[in-house]
């Protein structure tokens, strides 16, 4: 099981989105996602979060909010636990990312992007829920076949 962090930076009604276009073998190839990545040995989720955001964006988080855990299951890709965060308190100069293109996308335009179908559920829960949630997403290929919200 892969363990990762995922963060959606917020500014002026928009999320910072990463269009994953650079890696050849990538579960997220051509998809739009937040920033984050795999834990290094011994890291706490918050340490992974801070490191990955800085590495991928050049931005330093000053505060963040734990939003929940996503369980990603697939018949093609390795299963993954994803610690989900949002932040609207950061500083620095946004720089390029070697994994794709970073773009501020208005929240009202998210559904026009090439997203995982389960991300649409996740974005709804980010808007509706104030408490952390758990979301299990089961895929066959790129097709979402089962969703469980907790």
pLDDT digits (tens, 9 = 90+) for 74-114: 999 899 999 999 999 999 999 988 889 999 999 999 999 99
CA distances from 1 to 38, 83, 110, 134 (A): 11, 13, 28, 17
Nearest to 6 by CA among 53, 43, 40, 54: 53
| Average pLDDT of the residues in 46-56 | 97
Overall pTM > 0.85:
yes
Q: How far apart are CA 9 and CA 142, in angstroms?
A: 25
Nearest to 100 by CA among 7, 22, 8, 9: 22
Domain 2-149: CATH architecture, name and number where available: Alpha-Beta Complex (3.90)
For residue 101, what are the β-bridge partners? 19
How do the domains of the chain map onto residue ranges? 2-149
Backbone CA torsion sign across 13, 121, 139, 3 = positive
For residue 143, what are the β-bridge partners? 140
């Amino acid at each position: 099981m892969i363990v990762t962090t995922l963060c959606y930076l917020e500014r002026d009604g928009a999320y910072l989105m990463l269009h994953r276009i650079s890696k050849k073998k990538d579960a997220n190839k051509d998809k739009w996602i937040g920033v984050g990545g795999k834990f290094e040995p011994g890291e706490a989720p918050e340490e992974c979060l801070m490191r990955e955001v800085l590495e991928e964006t050049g931005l330093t988080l000053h505060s963040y909010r734990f939003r929940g855990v996503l369980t990603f299951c697939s018949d093609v890709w390795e299963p993954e636990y994803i610690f989900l965060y949002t932040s609207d308190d950061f500083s620095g100069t946004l720089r390029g990312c070697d994994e794709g293109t970073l773009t501020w996308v208005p929240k009202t335009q998210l559904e026009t992007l090439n997203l995982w179908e389960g991300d649409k559920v996740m974005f709804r829960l980010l808007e509706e829920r104030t408490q952390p949630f758990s979301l299990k997403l089961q895929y066959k290929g790129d097709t979402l076949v089962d969703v469980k919200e907790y």
